[in-house]
Amino acid sequence: MSFKTIPPQKDGSKSDNFYSITCTNSQEAVDLFIKSSNHLLDVNNWENICNGILKANFKLCDEFGNEVNRLPKEKDYFKIDIPGPGPVNGDGYDWVQIENIYKDTDKINDTDLISVRVRPAACPLNDKQSTAHFFTKAATTTFLVRREGTGVTAEIHGRNEKPNKQTENIIDTVRNKVVANGAILSFSDIQWKQLVIAFLS
């Protein structure tokens, strides 16, 4: 099973969250993998599958920043509304862009994998060029679901997470430092733990 969609850790913090279920047979595992993959790809519904526990709200947007209700594509965005004030340069939201969607099926080894990797980005709704996210553009988050035989696992991997201090105003710089430090310490892990469980629910 390939994990090449998860970038190497070079600088800053990282996070790894997992949740696994062992099924009674391969067909049950295949069915769960399909269901969990659909949950992963249904970005607009993440808050609902978490039964309101997820504090951040995610909306899928096209490459121009327009909200859409469809399967995600590379170059689409996630518009993220987290508790508290959002970045000014993001029109009040944090933004990440999908840079990779990867699918793999290996019948010989009886495995399946789907992953979506995102990276902090500038807001597509305005002409500001600075990254509209509390992490720098070096950070990535990889959401994935994999099946190995009768086992199905949902995972979320954060890499190279550092506070974004390269902003166009002091308000965003201070805000990003506070939010990023909170995310690094515990907030993201708490959220991601709920989401990996929800993917397999």
pTM: 0.91
Per the CB < 8 A criterion, the answer to whether 135 and 164 are in contact is: yes
Per-residue pLDDT band for 182 (boundaries 50, 70, 90) equals low
Per-residue pLDDT band for 176 (boundaries 50, 70, 90) equals low
CA distance 39 to 132: 26
| Confidence at residue 113, expressed as pLDDT on a 0 to 100 scale | 97
Comparing CA positions, the residue from 150, 158, 152, 143 lying closest to residue 201 is: 152
| Confidence at residue 84, expressed as pLDDT on a 0 to 100 scale | 76
Q: With 60 as the cut, is the pLDDT of residue 154 above it?
A: yes
| Confidence at residue 1, expressed as pLDDT on a 0 to 100 scale | 43
C-alpha distances in angstroms, 26 versus 17, 18, 21, 36, 100?
24, 20, 12, 15, 28
126-65-163 Cα angle (round to 5): 70
Domains with residue ranges and CATH for the chain: 13-199 (3.30.530)
Which carries the bigger pLDDT value, residue 124 or residue 134? 124
Across the range 126-144, mean pLDDT stands at 93
Across the range 47-53, mean pLDDT stands at 86
